[in-house]
Chain A
Amino acid sequence: MRNTGDTAGRGTWLLTGAAAIIWMLPLIFAVLVSFRPQAEPVSIGNIFFGSRITLDNYAAAWNIAPWGWHYVNSILFVVGVLAVQIVTVTMAGYAFARLRFAGRGLLLVLILLQLMIPTAALLAQNFATIRTLGLYDTRWALMMPYWGSAFGVLLMRQTFRGVPLEFEEAARIDGANWWQIMRSVYIPLALPAYIAFALVSISSHWNEFLWPFIVTRTEEVRPLTVGLNKLYSTTELGALYGQLMAGTLMVIAPLVVLFMLFQRRFLESFASSGLK
């Protein structure tokens, strides 16, 4: 994100820093507590460090749930959603951007209804559908409701419309078929939009909890967020905070690191999406 503002004065800088540090306190303390010995809770006069730095909490948290599977499932979930979304969104985005056909407006409106009726609100009925389809407790159940993305269709439609028509015509004269035109003209030019879409899609599905929790039962198909819930309910309803914070950090670390590496890209993607 560009910065077009003025250079900040000393007072503004201090204010900004103070606000940011206050906002970071929960994370800072989560990290500190995760490395404290469990027997030394935060107390007056001793709120920062314990007597030693220990990895015991991480070891204990690691043993409560099959985290290896949870990582695999979270990755399969976000990748499986994104991969299919990119295909469906590219196809429909192109049709709505460049082709003229009967019912185009009506069909677009039908798809856009998905933006107005978020999948999260239809939890109960979609759960029933997944049972009917015989997909309960499978990884497919996690992904399927997100395979079609009205937001993605809208984004791609808008992006493809920005591609000069002459490029497509030139490729067509050279004898390129539809897929060759997509591959050589539209997709490369739309790369920034794909990246924005991918970042938004990945971060929202990585964090999904209620839906995976409802449509799965076996630990081995559940993603990280559901593992964290198990950790929460087994650590004596969260009384073992060292373990809980260690587990929480294991879950959030990948996204936080990804964000630190690509901060600018993330912010621009989120800003242009208007959607999480």
Chain B
Amino acid sequence: MKPALRHPPLFKKEPPMQDTALTASKAVSLPWSRRLLRMAFPYLLIAPTLILVFIFTLYPAANAVIDSLYSIPRSAREAPVFVGLGNYADLFTPDHFIGATFTLVIGNTLFFAVTSVLFSVPLSLGFALLLNQRMPLLGVWRFGIFYPALLPLIGAASIWAFLFSDTVGLINTVLRSLGGTTVNWLGDPNLVLISVTIVNIWKQAGYYMIFYLAGLQNIPRELYEAAALDGAHGWGMFSSITLPLLRRTSLFVLVVNFIFAFQTVEQLQALGQGNPGDRGTLLLYLIFKTIPERRNWGYVNAMTVILVLLLLTFTIANFFLFERGREDADA
């Protein structure tokens, strides 16, 4: 699963294709059945992937658009009613029961995404700068920073549920021992989203770090040597060489981070399930929670369409930012 993004090495200049014209001329002497097989061959090779993508991506996406235009009546015997954009209108009506939740959750999701980016991008760059040096125990330190990225979200969240726990939790125990007041991390409506965001930052920083590590290793050492000859050092080198040359990596990390933020919701299952009062709920989790209510099927699909449109926007933005970044780098 999970987003998918153009990372530079995947796209290179295209080497020449095999010339099928040549094979075709050789094929003239073959019987027609062999010729047909040869023509169909490429399609047979891509058919499994294409069919699977159709069933589990294209068809459900199209269906979500259609279903989002209908409302399911209370009685199971009545047919769905076409309501046009009515479901969408309800979602954005703050005093409607679903609209109240939806507008709150969209706000939560944006806060979650933006805050995650603000903290995890600088953190991951910092970690990469530190770990890009030779030192004793490097492997241990690198493991320490990266391992959260490997954990299942729900596993990471259950560990944090213990750390955040009101009475026996580690963080509150430490706060108490320091003489501070304890905090209800997951029960306070004003804090729950921040707690969820902290877990996300902790979990993703190590993952984004590896892109920065790869980026750092692509910077030619000669640049630093030349700059050193010119008298640059420390911050000067960092701001005039490292940062600009990591621009594409930073853009990439930024967008991936944003896209992830709209899909990482499984941790909520162990971090208060969006409570209290949906103050901790994120968009995909709201969809997940709304599925069992048959009557809300139209809303589920309208929310799905909105989520997909948001993700498409970011992916397309990613694409254009990258093309721009590449031209700059080539120039």
Closest residue of chain A to B60 (Cβ to Cβ) is: A125
Evaluate contact between A129 and B52: CB separation under 8 angstroms.
Answer: no
Complex: A26 Cα to B201 Cα, angstroms: 14
| Given known A-B contacts A110-B53, A270-B210, A210 and B265 have beta carbons under 8 A apart | yes
Interface locus among A49-57, A64-72, A259-267:
A259-267
- The interface-forming segment of B70-78, B88-96, B98-106, B171-179 is B171-179
- Cβ < 8 Å to B, chain A residues 67-107: 87-89, 91-92, 94-96, 98-101, 104, 107
Residues of chain B contacted by A270 (CB below 8 angstroms): 149, 207, 210
The one of A15, A26, A107 that contacts B50, using a Cβ cutoff of 8 Å: A107
Complex contact B162–A30 (CB within 8 A): yes
Tell me whether B130 is interfacial, beta carbon within 8 Å.
Answer: yes
Interface string of A228-258 (1 = CB under 8 A from B): 1100100000110100110110011001100
- The reply to whether A125 and B301 form a contact with Cβ atoms under 8 Å apart is yes
Are the CB atoms of B147 and A19 closer together than 8 Å?
A: no
**B residues near A154, Cβ cutoff 8 Å:** 10
- Nearest chain-B residue to A3 (Cβ)? B134
Is the pair A42, B141 in contact by a Cβ cutoff of 8 Å? no
The docked-state distance in angstroms from the alpha carbon of A208 to that of B3 is 14
Q: Which of A17, A124, A150 has the most CB of B within 10 A?
A: A124
Q: Are B155 and A225 in contact (CB under 8 A)?
A: yes
Instruction: Give the CA-CA distance A172 to B226 in the complex, in Å.
Output: 51
Residues of chain B lying within 8 A (CB to CB) of residue A260: 143
Say yes or no: A27 contacts B159, CB within 8 Å: yes
A interface, size bucket: 35 or more
In the complex, what residues of B have CB within 8 A of residue A173's CB? Answer: none
A119 interface residue (CB < 8 Å to B): yes
**Contact B134 A24, beta carbon cutoff 8 Å:** no
Q: Please, which residues of chain B bring their CB within 8 A of the CB of A210?
A: 265-266, 284, 288
Contact A161 B14 (CB under 8 A): yes
Type the 1/0 row for A1-43, where 1 means its CB is closer than 8 Å to any CB of B: 1111111100011011101110110110110010000000111
* Partner-contacting stretch, out of B28-36, B188-196, B213-221, B323-331: B213-221
Which residues of the other chain, A, contact B15 by a CB distance below 8 angstroms?
161-162, 165
Kindly state the separation between the CA atoms of A178 and B176 in the bound complex, as whole angstroms.
Answer: 69
Contacts of B6 in A (CB 8 A): 274
- Among candidates A1, A13, A127, A208, residue contacting B135 with C-beta atoms closer than 8 Å: A13
Which listed residue, B160, B176, B205, B270, touches A44 by the CB 8 Å rule? B176
B7 at the interface (CB under 8 A from A): yes
In the complex the two chains form, is A129's CB within 8 Å of B55's CB? yes
What is the interface residue range for chain B against chain A? 35 or more
> Are A5 and B216 in contact, with the CB atoms below 8 A?
yes
Distance in Å from the Cβ of A142 to the closest Cβ of chain B? 12
Q: Report how far A237 CA is from B167 CA in the complex, Å.
A: 13
How many angstroms between the C-alpha atoms of A157 and B17 in the bound complex? Answer: 12
B311 touches A121 (CB 8 A): yes
Digit string of A116-153 for contact with B (CB within 8 Å is 1, else 0)?
Answer: 11111111111111000000000000001111111101
Residue of B nearest to A252 (CB): B155
Are B311 and A7 in touch, CB under 8 angstroms?
no
**How far, in Å, is A15 (CB) from chain B's closest CB?**
6
Chain A residue nearest to B13 in the complex (CB): A161
Could you tell me if A125 and B154 are in contact, using CB atoms closer than 8 angstroms? Answer: no
Tell whether, in the assembled complex, residue B60 and residue A126 are in contact, meaning their CB atoms are under 8 Å apart: yes
Q: B85 an interface residue at 8 Å Cβ cutoff?
A: no
Structural contact, B1 and A245, CB atoms closer than 8 A: no
Q: Which residue of A lies closest to B307 (CB)?
A: A121
Taken residue by residue from 151 to 192, chain B's Cβ proximity to chain A (1 for < 8 Å, 0 otherwise) reads as 111111011111101011110011011000000000000000
Is B288 within 8 A of A123, CB to CB? yes
* CB of B9 within 8 Å of the partner chain: yes
Question: Judging by beta carbons under 8 Å apart, are A148 and B150 in contact?
Answer: no
Decide if B312 touches A117 in the complex (CB within 8 Å): yes
A275 lies within 8 A of chain B by Cβ: yes
Q: Choose among B43, B45, B53, B148 the residue that contacts A111 (Cβ–Cβ < 8 A).
A: B53
Given contact pairs A123-B304, A124-B300, enumerate 9 new A-B contacts (beta carbons under 8 Å): A1-B217, A89-B49, A99-B20, A114-B4, A117-B308, A124-B297, A228-B152, A248-B159, A263-B143
Closest 4 CB pairs of A and B: A274-B7, A148-B52, A20-B144, A125-B60
24 contacts between A and B (CB under 8 A): A3-B133, A8-B134, A16-B130, A17-B137, A20-B145, A44-B177, A88-B52, A92-B45, A92-B46, A107-B50, A115-B315, A118-B2, A153-B49, A208-B152, A225-B266, A228-B158, A238-B161, A239-B168, A241-B162, A241-B168, A245-B162, A256-B151, A272-B214, A274-B211
